Amino acid sequence: GQQLNQSPQSMFIQEGEDVSMNCTSSSIFNTWLWYKQDPGEGPVLLIALYKAGELTSNGRLTAQFGITRKDSFLNISASIPSDVGIYFCAGQRGSGTYKYIFGTGTRLKVLA
Residue 104 in the binding site for other proteins (CB under 8 A): yes
Yes or no: say if 106 and 92 are a contact pair by the CB < 8 Å rule.
no
Q: How many Å apart are CA 29 and CA 37, to the nearest integer? A: 22
| Residue 43, helix vs strand vs coil | coil
The reply to whether 77 sits near other proteins by the rule CB under 8 A is: no
Contact of 105 with 87, CB cutoff 8 Å: yes
Taking the C-alpha atoms of residue 70 and residue 92, their distance in angstroms, rounded to an integer, is 11
51 binds other proteins (CB under 8 A): no
CB of 41 to other proteins, least distance (A): 5
Instruction: Assess 58 for contact with other proteins (CB under 8 A).
Output: no
User: Residue 73, interface with other proteins (CB under 8 A)?
Assistant: no
Give the footprint of other proteins on this chain (CB under 8 A): 1, 3, 6, 30-31, 33, 35, 40-45, 48, 50, 88, 90, 92, 95-105
